[in-house]
Amino acid sequence: MTASARLGQVKVGDGFPVRIMAAINASPESFYKGSVADTAKEVETRVRTAVEDGAELIDIGGASTAPYLKGGVSEEVEKSRVLAGLRSAVEAVGGRKTAISVDTVRASVADAALRGGASVVNDVSGLKGDPAMSKVLRERGASLLAMAHSAGASRARPIPLVSRALRQTLRIAERAGIDERLIVLDPGIGFFRNDAGTATSSQQTLMPWYEWDCEVIANLRKLMPLGRPIGVGLSRKSFLGKILGLESPEERLAGSLAVTAIAVSNGVQLVRTHDVRETLQAVRAAEAVKARSPRAGRAS
């Protein structure tokens, strides 16, 4: 099954090249310090660079959603960071056809961002965190990047559990009156952990979490029956640190590019990254090779 969607003014899916979403973090606690923009000027500079390097979507975060980081920030602090970053991002984007997303699980933060110039919400809870999120999306006519989230511990296999979680999200969206053509799905690489689930993570007890992530990436095509474009965030994540023996996210760029190319070969249509220029090169190279494969309708 094939599909396309619209994230803001950016079309994602069938008939379009893989889109690049740049992660811009206005949250000092984020796991990759190289992605953190501490000032409005730095946010503006990073956004301009990301757009020049090929990003078509900008994702602004005011609170880290990494599932293994302890603590959090208040709603007021997150909202203040997001709105300050958003003002800089809007200024940097100017008149370009670049969509701005807000990375949050809080409906009030999403609402403020959507009123301030964002057009997409990146919700790692898949509409299951804040009951008011669906209403905000519908009333604002916003697009949604929804991550798989599963409550309670599970021993289900990766793809069946991820598929079930994402189908639940699609049902929530349908009941809320959200147009499915505004939805892209994310399988939640890095968010299915072995410890107790949190507001942003899901608990699975079947296999080591880093093996889980590898199995999902290897089988991304099995998510296509969901009927929505699939996006992934792989950039510098902890599963790469585990399999490569690299504790620091600063050392994980090469691994990120390798799994990104595999994900593109396996059908993803959106990639969220901290490293736009390098990721775009890996994506376009993978697309060129993929276009010559039997799956693309060519003889082997």
Per DSSP, which regions of the chain are E strands?
4-7, 10-13, 19-25, 57-61, 99-103, 120-123, 143-147, 183-186, 192-193, 202-203, 231-233, 270-273
Reported in sequence order, the residue ranges of 19-108 that DSSP labels E, i.e. its strands, are: 19-25, 57-61, 99-103
Residue 12 has pLDDT above 50, yes or no: yes
Per the prediction, the chain carries an average pLDDT of: 94
User: Which helix H or strand E contains 169, and what residues bound it?
Assistant: helix 158-176
Task: Region of 71 please: left (phi>0), alpha (psi -120 to 50) or beta.
Answer: left
> Is 4-292 CATH 3.20.20.20?
yes
Q: What is the pLDDT of residue 196?
A: 79
Among the listed residues 17, 16, 13, the one whose alpha carbon sits nearest the alpha carbon of residue 2: 13
Start-to-end Cα distance in the chain = 23
What whole-number distance in Å separates Cα of residue 119 and Cα of residue 98? 10
Question: Is the pLDDT confidence value at 33 over 90?
Answer: no
Distances (CA, A) of 287 to 115, 227, 298: 36, 21, 14
Residue showing tokens 């410890």: 195
Cβ–Cβ under 8 Å, residues 265 and 286: yes
Strand-strand pairing, 4-7 and 10-13: antiparallel
The 10s digit of each residue's pLDDT in 117-176 is 999 999 999 999 999 999 999 999 999 999 999 999 999 999 999 999 999 999 999 999
Q: Where do we find the tokens 């509409």?
A: 127
Q: In 10 A of CB 167, how many CB atoms?
A: 15
Q: How confident is the model at residue 27 (pLDDT cuts 50, 70, 90)?
A: confident
Q: What is the model's pLDDT at position 224?
A: 96
Where is average pLDDT lowest: 6-10, 197-201, 203-207?
Answer: 197-201
Report the predicted TM-score, pTM, of the whole model to 2 decimal places: 0.95
* Per-residue model confidence as pLDDT tens digits over 55-106: 999 999 999 887 776 667 899 999 999 999 999 999 999 888 999 999 999 9
If DSSP codes are grouped into helix, strand and coil, which group holds residue 186? strand
DSSP 100: E
Name the one residue in this structure whose structure tokens are 């069938």.
Answer: 14
Paired strand residues for 146:
123, 185
- With contact defined as beta carbons under 8 Å apart, do 159 and 143 qualify? no
